[in-house]
Amino acid sequence: MSVQVATPTDDNVWSRLQRCFKGLSFKNKSFKRLAFHHKKAEAILYLMFLSGLLLWPFISIPWQVERTVLLMHMLAGISIFPVFVGSFWLSHRNLIQNSNKKFLRQTGTIIEYLLIACTLTGIYLTFWGNTGNNLSILMQDIHFYSSWLLAPLVLRHAWRWTVIKFFRKS
């Protein structure tokens, strides 16, 4: 005999996440203001992409440099990335849901799913690594290809406000 709990039809991961962190007051003004301060989060995302690119097998760098880059990539991925990108993402969620701009809503949603995939596979790779089995190779591939989709999509999504100003024509 099993007991099933009735859940509302609009119950999803995001509403559960917001209920878990209700005490953090996502409704206050400073948290809402964080949704518009993207420069640190965007810069960290690009730096993570570039450091991950250096770890690509087709780019040969000396092992001494590669192991340092790998360590920095892993440490930034489990410390700096969640603090800045995670807090920006949580504050930006309301904009994604309520924006009148279809393009920003669509790209924001795709970025959100790519961030989740890249973050979860990054956590797996940080703590278990690529051991050579099928699961770890799949995790590495998902991490690698989701980052290749994520970086240009974030650049296009935030084109008017991007930290990469040398490509823009003002």
Q: What is the pLDDT of residues 99-143, one digit of tens each?
A: 788 888 898 889 999 999 999 999 999 999 999 999 999 999 999
Q: How far apart are CA 154 and CA 115, in angstroms?
A: 10
Burial (Cβ within 10 Å: 0-12, 13-18, ≥19) of residue 114? buried
Helix (H, G, I), strand (E, B) or coil at 136: helix
Residues of the chain with pLDDT under 50: 25-26
Give just the sign of the alpha carbon dihedral 109, 111, 113, 119.
Answer: negative
Residue 125 pLDDT: 95
Residue 110 pLDDT: 93
Residue 40 pLDDT: 81
Residue 153 pLDDT: 92
Residue 105 pLDDT: 86
Give just the sign of the alpha carbon dihedral 33, 153, 116, 130.
Answer: negative
Residue 57 pLDDT: 84
Residue 42 pLDDT: 83
Return mean pLDDT, the chain.
Answer: 80
Tokens in use for 85? 């990108």
Sequence-distant (≥ 6) Cβ neighbours of residue 40 within 8 angstroms: 84, 88
Q: How far is CA 34 from the centre of its chain?
A: 16
